[in-house]
Amino acid sequence: MKPIVLAFAGTIGSGKTTISRLVAHKLRWKHVSFGDYVRAVARDRKLGESREVLQDLGSSLIGEGWEHFCKAVLKQVQFKPGECLVVDGVRHIEALNTIRDLVYPSIVFLIYIYLKPSQRQKRLEIKGIASESEIMRIEEHPTEKQVQTVLSQVADLLVDGSKPELQMVSDIVAWIKNKVPSN
């Protein structure tokens, strides 16, 4: 198989992190996460890990430049161009485009996990995010603005997050193998 990078996007509570980890495990590829990187920086800076702190820190890291931010994320797994990789938590088209530049000659596919609002609400309640006002506040943050409006529109594959996890993983792996057959 040609070198591929799968980038996962989706709203908070869509299941993208769980599915991206399962896909990476199934394919035996490295897995890296924007969210894990931001949390690590927050811990190093002793900032706490509330959603608000992480979103603001993410904005600050973006302010240091997309290339710097994306290189730091990829460095978590010592990524080298030509390797296969799963990247979780793409939230901006600029991050996707920068990842494409940094991982060349690997082919980058964006996978968007979507979920019906009622199902998403149940998942968010489990995460302790229960009120509509809190969800709106989260989604109005600059780090979330492009997720539904831009990334969902440019995704190479849309995946229904309400399906059983193993079915989603199987569907994604089959799609990749069909999209980029082995040499």
Per-domain residue ranges for the chain? 4-33+81-179
Q: What is the pLDDT of residue 11?
A: 84
- Given a cut of 50, the residues of the chain with pLDDT beneath it are none
For residues 106 and 100, give the distance between their C-alpha atoms in angstroms, rounded to a whole number. Answer: 8
Distance CA 173, CA 114 (A): 17
pLDDT at residue number 1: 64
Taking the complete model, does pTM exceed 0.75, yes or no?
yes
The architecture of the domain spanning 4-33+81-179 is 3-Layer(aba) Sandwich (3.40)
Taking a C-beta distance cutoff of 8 angstroms, is the pair 68, 101 a contact? no
